[in-house]
């Protein structure tokens, strides 16, 4: 395979990767903890967008439980986003085997 063809292929893969990232950016994933008392929402890139805490879970005497629920909700939402990223991007992610080792050159 000549270098120009390899570069053209890499550019095509980069374009597909960028399109997939844009698609993920618009998706939202929610995670809950405490039976829905705390809910976190992240976008498909894993950026935290919203936290919803039911007033009845706020106990000034037990802040540690609330902190744990918040962390759990964020982790669940982020795991869902990561699973979707893997599903959509698969081996296209930078450094991924699906790019023939060229992933780090593109982004």
Go through the domains of the chain in sequence order and give each one's CATH number.
26-82 (3.30.1310.10)
Instruction: Give the pLDDT confidence of 38-92 residue by residue, as tens digits.
Output: 999 999 888 999 999 999 999 999 999 999 999 999 999 999 999 988 888 776 6
Average pLDDT (28-34) is: 95
First-residue to last-residue Cα distance in the chain: 23
Token pair listed for 48: 């935290």
Copy the structure tokens of residue 69.
């629920």
Local confidence band at 96 (pLDDT 50, 70, 90 cut-offs): very low
pLDDT at position 32 over 80? yes
3-state secondary structure of 103: helix
Residue 18 has pLDDT above 70, yes or no: yes
């Amino acid at each position: 395979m000549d270098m120009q063809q390899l570069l053209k292929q890499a550019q095509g893969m980069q374009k597909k990767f960028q399109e997939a990232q844009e698609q993920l950016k618009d998706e939202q994933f929610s995670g809950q903890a405490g039976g829905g008392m705390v809910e976190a929402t992240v976008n498909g890139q894993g950026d935290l967008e919203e936290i919803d805490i039911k007033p009845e879970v706020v106990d000034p005497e037990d802040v540690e439980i609330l902190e744990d629920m918040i962390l759990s909700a964020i982790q669940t939402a982020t795991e869902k986003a990561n699973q979707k990223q893997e599903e959509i991007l698969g081996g296209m992610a930078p450094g991924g085997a699906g790019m023939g080792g060229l992933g780090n050159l593109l982004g």
